[in-house]
Amino acid sequence: MTATDSRLHDLQTPALVLDKARMMRNIHRLATCIRAKGAALRPHLKTVKSTEIASRLLADGLGPATVSTLAEAEVFAGIGVRDITYAVGITPQKLDRVAAIRSRGCDLSVILDSPEQAHAVAEASDRLGMTIPALIELDCDGHRSGVAPGDPALVEIGHLLHDSAAELRGVLTHAGESYEVYGREAHAVFAEQERQAAVASAEMLRNADLPCPVVSIGSTPTAHAIKNLDGITEVRAGVYAFFDLVQAGIGVCKLDDIALSVLTTVIGHQRDKGWIITDAGWMAMSRDHGTMGQKIDQGYGVVCDEVGNVIPDLIVIKANQEHGIIAPRPGSDAALPDLPLGTTLRILPNHACATAAQFSEYNVIPSEPGATLLKWPRFGGW
Amino acid sequence: MTATDSRLHDLQTPALVLDKARMMRNIHRLATCIRAKGAALRPHLKTVKSTEIASRLLADGLGPATVSTLAEAEVFAGIGVRDITYAVGITPQKLDRVAAIRSRGCDLSVILDSPEQAHAVAEASDRLGMTIPALIELDCDGHRSGVAPGDPALVEIGHLLHDSAAELRGVLTHAGESYEVYGREAHAVFAEQERQAAVASAEMLRNADLPCPVVSIGSTPTAHAIKNLDGITEVRAGVYAFFDLVQAGIGVCKLDDIALSVLTTVIGHQRDKGWIITDAGWMAMSRDHGTMGQKIDQGYGVVCDEVGNVIPDLIVIKANQEHGIIAPRPGSDAALPDLPLGTTLRILPNHACATAAQFSEYNVIPSEPGATLLKWPRFGGW
């Protein structure tokens, strides 16, 4: 028999479950750590997409914040968040919407890495009679977007912003490649790489008589590993509120820090094959298989009983649209447990951002023992 | 310069685009083919999740239909669909909801593959004073769920249903493994395997004096390849309304049959690397990389201009949450086209079911030349 939680019994499955005590522990751990080092924390709200959770993640419940879509900026500005960075490269087509959010009293800044974008932000600021602030994105690790540190384009872009109706707000970088290495020491190397890229670029701008008030770095692995924040004004991180198997697999958290899971029901068995079939396929878990290249491949998720205790070596080995197939991890000699038809289980996800996005509601297990389940809505879209 | 479509200019990206003319062509092709062979077509609505599209897919707009969630059954029953099969193994916890849908006048049937489930359906039928019909799921190809053809459990389950307050409606199978092979002849082999498993099982039930009015088979590849429907009463298929790169990769459709795409905007470049960066990452495309094991790996999607013309050898090679990275297909000697900041493109998806699920709305390009864009809502959840 697996342990059960009566508060979850009335849920139709699959359902998204959030363990509030774990989430609050994750939130406080990083906030305390960054505050102690003298920088601000600017949580990324792209993972949670929930006003209830944002109010718990943000300093004083109101900011500063990072978002990945203008839909997020609109929702969070709507609850009074007053300082938001939209951290995906801006396009000309989105600037009217940025201006509309700013006109509601939210200091929304954009990011960019090209003279073309700087021209567009300058033109929109001029046309709309509104100063739109922009940070210059830096490429500290070859991961994705950004100006290479030391590239003269940095100063060119800085001037285009500063010598126009727009505003040069600072520089920003993200060590996306830190997800590919294991352990605090390896993440600290990426953190220092983020710091050096950002600080050197800020210096380059200041040496050209340009302002650089904001020097922003961060990713969940580097934010937890960074030793030195000299010259840095703020740190960004997002998935840490929930954590997930990818983060556990690179040593940023433990399995029992993971606050998000998918409640599922056993719908059948293929006993000859050693399969248990559930109603949480990839539509519930997402297609993210981010642990595939890690030391331990967790398939489409780690299986727990209804209370959240990990069942050793039991994973979702395969996911169809509305079917998950559970079996012992390949190579394990664990026996398949007896989980009869109708048993409810919880599955820890590879990637919290992707799994949460498949649902419109969190079923929140409150921190207080015995308290009833809460429902927190979640939004999506752009 | 890439070609543009002025009707798409006002959309904020990423956005889901549906080419209605292609969809109607796909719908009519299969409907005509199955009707000519003398069976009914029971379209699977899990891909489209739209009442506007369901009314175009279903015979007379009202049925019969297949669904993968009870949320779909509730929505489609709500617009008057009167004959629905919920084609994911039933659990005891869902039977009250099944009964509620049936009590609204929709003939909703469930599927199962174990005596435990048959007991649960019999018990619920008795307790609720309502005959719940069930089909026995058969495992024709080792793909997932189902009773193996010839397994005596088939007759045991048949009796549990028939000799109780429930109803034995028939047998159903799905050759999920047909997605793994290329070409019509290979799919026809799986289609015949579906047919033989279903017809033999129906015979086994009838030889035990059990009824088997429905003999149901189908998958998109087998439905398009099947030559002989003797003994079959209905064929199921779903993704064919939209098609996608996975289906094109196994030869079920051509690229210009794919009716679904994601509109995206160029947000940057990494010219040293030959990368174009867009605002359609995996949150828009989904994490599905279903062409990875195929002859041509399409990455996270095939790039088209705004009108939908494929740009040769240009694919989304990498996807982050809100960033897509476009480059020539590895190994190709195609040059990177000049696609400036702000260029809008359309991306054909690997898996239409997964990509459509990331959006709450279809932007429909009407069949009539010059007609304005339509907005059709799309739902999700369970």
Rounded to 5°, angle at Cα A338 from A337 and A339: 105
Specify if A382 maps to a domain. no
Specify the pTM. Answer: 0.97
Specify if B1 maps to a domain. no
Contact B2, B345 (CB under 8 A): yes
Q: What residue in A sits closest to B350 (Cα-Cα)?
A: A287
B328 cis-preceded (ω within 30 degrees of 0): no
A306 lies in the same domain as A369: yes
A311 lies in the same domain as A230: no
Residue B252 DSSP code: S
Output the CA torsion B19→B20→B26→B27 (10° steps).
150
pLDDT of residue A25: 98
B158 lies in the same domain as B259: no
Specify if B328 maps to a domain. yes
Rounded to 5°, angle at Cα B211 from B106 and B32: 60
Q: Six-digit token pair at A23?
A: 């989430």
Q: What is the phi/psi pair of residue B103, to 5°?
A: -70, -15
> Under an 8 A CB cutoff, do B277 and A325 touch?
no
> Under an 8 A CB cutoff, do A286 and B286 touch?
yes
Specify if A164 maps to a domain. yes
> Under an 8 A CB cutoff, do A320 and B287 touch?
no
A280 lies in the same domain as A132: no
Confidence band for B59, pLDDT divided at 50, 70 and 90: confident
pLDDT of residue B102: 98
> Under an 8 A CB cutoff, do A268 and B89 touch?
yes
Specify if A47 maps to a domain. yes
pLDDT of residue B145: 96
Residues A111, A86: Cα–Cα separation, whole Å: 7
Instruction: Please tell me which residue, B61 or A193, carries the higher pLDDT value.
Output: A193
pLDDT of residue A1: 60
Residues B327, B313: Cα–Cα separation, whole Å: 8
B88 lies in the same domain as B143: yes
Residues contacting A10, CB < 8 A, separation 6+: none
A183 lies in the same domain as A227: yes
B222 lies in the same domain as B179: yes
The amino acid present at B41, given as its one-letter code, is: L
Confidence band for B1, pLDDT divided at 50, 70 and 90: low
Q: How far is CA A263 from the centre of its chain?
A: 21
Contact A291, A297 (CB under 8 A): yes
Nearest one of A241, A249, A181 to A376, comparing CA atoms: A241
Contact B226, B237 (CB under 8 A): no
Contact B342, B349 (CB under 8 A): no
A105 lies in the same domain as A149: yes
Residue B3 pLDDT exceeds 90: no
B94-120 pLDDT, tens digit each: 999 999 999 999 999 999 999 999 999
Q: Which residues of chain B neighbour A381 with C-beta distances below 8 Å? A: 359-360
The H or E element spanning position A214 is: strand A214-217
The structural domain count of chain A equals 2
Q: How far apart, in Å, are the Cα atoms of A91 and each of B278, B284, B344?
A: 10, 17, 11
Q: What residue in A sits closest to B352 (Cα-Cα)?
A: A321
Nearest one of A185, A186, A189, A214 to A201, comparing CA atoms: A214
**Residue B105: count of CB within 10 angstroms of its CB:** 9
Domain-ending residue, one of B219, B242, B265: B242
Q: What CATH number corresponds to the domain at position A27?
A: 3.20.20.10
Interface A-B: count of C-beta contacts within 8 A: 154
Nearest one of B375, B379, B377 to B357, comparing CA atoms: B379
Residues A354, B267: Cα–Cα separation, whole Å: 22
Residues A286, A293: Cα–Cα separation, whole Å: 17
A85-95 pLDDT, tens digit each: 999 999 999 99
Mode of pairing for the β-strands spanning A65-67 and A83-86: parallel
The tens-digit pLDDT sequence of chain A (382 residues) is: 678 888 898 899 999 999 999 999 999 999 999 999 999 999 999 999 999 999 999 988 888 999 999 999 999 999 999 999 999 999 999 999 999 999 999 999 999 999 999 999 999 999 999 999 999 999 999 999 999 999 999 999 999 999 999 999 999 999 999 999 999 999 999 999 999 999 999 999 999 999 999 999 999 999 999 999 999 999 999 999 999 999 999 999 999 999 999 999 999 999 999 999 999 999 999 999 999 999 999 999 999 999 999 999 999 999 999 999 999 999 999 999 999 999 999 999 999 999 999 999 999 999 988 889 999 999 999 9
What pairs with residue A305 in β-bridges? Answer: A345
Nearest one of A150, A157, A196, A158 to A175, comparing CA atoms: A196
B64-95 pLDDT, tens digit each: 999 999 999 999 999 999 999 999 999 999 99
Specify if A1 maps to a domain. no
B299 lies in the same domain as B327: yes
A293, with CB counted inside 10 A (0-12, 13-18, 19+), is exposed
Chain A: closest CA distance from residue B276 (Å): 10
Q: Six-digit token pair at A30?
A: 């990083």
Contact B190, B151 (CB under 8 A): no
Across residues B38-53, what is the average pLDDT? 97
Q: Which residues of chain A neighbour B12 with C-beta distances below 8 Å? A: 70, 93-94, 97, 382
Give DSSP secondary structure letters for A176-190. Answer: GGGGGS-SHHHHHHH
A181 lies in the same domain as A98: yes
Residues A349, B278: Cα–Cα separation, whole Å: 27
Domain that holds residue B291: 6-17+251-377
Residues contacting A53, CB < 8 A, separation 6+: A23, A241, A362, A376
Contact A254, A264 (CB under 8 A): no
B13, B70, B288 ranked by CB distance to A287: nearest: B288
**Residue B204: count of CB within 10 angstroms of its CB:** 19
Tell me the three state secondary structure of residue B342.
coil
Q: What residue in B sits closest to A11 (Cα-Cα)?
A: B93
Select from A341, A351, A360, A363 the residue whose CB has the most chain B CBs within 10 Å, as the one to mutate to test that interface. Answer: A341
Across residues B255-268, what is the average pLDDT? 98
Residues A88, A173: Cα–Cα separation, whole Å: 11
Chain A: closest CA distance from residue B255 (Å): 23
Specify if B114 maps to a domain. yes
Q: How far apart, in Å, are the Cα atoms of A239 and each of A21, A26, A353?
A: 16, 10, 7
Domain-ending residue, one of A242, A264, A284: A242
What pairs with residue B363 in β-bridges? Answer: B17, B375
A54-83 pLDDT, tens digit each: 999 998 888 899 999 999 999 999 999 999
Across residues B131-147, what is the average pLDDT? 96
Mode of pairing for the β-strands spanning B324-328 and B344-348: unpaired
**One-letter-per-residue 3-state SS of A37-83:** CCCEEEEECCCCCCHHHHHHHCHHHCCCEEECCHHHHHHHHHCCCCE
A214, with CB counted inside 10 A (0-12, 13-18, 19+), is buried
> Under an 8 A CB cutoff, do B270 and A97 touch?
no
> Under an 8 A CB cutoff, do A145 and B282 touch?
no
Q: Which residues of chain B neighbour A15 with C-beta distances below 8 Å? A: 382
Specify if A216 maps to a domain. yes
Domain-ending residue, one of A213, A242, A271: A242
Contact A291, A246 (CB under 8 A): yes
B257 lies in the same domain as B232: no
A236 lies in the same domain as A306: no
Nearest one of B241, B261, B263, B260 to B252, comparing CA atoms: B241
Q: Which residues of chain B neighbour A359 with C-beta distances below 8 Å? A: 381
Q: What CATH number corresponds to the domain at position B346?
A: 2.40.37.20
A94, A273, A287 ranked by CB distance to B286: nearest: A287
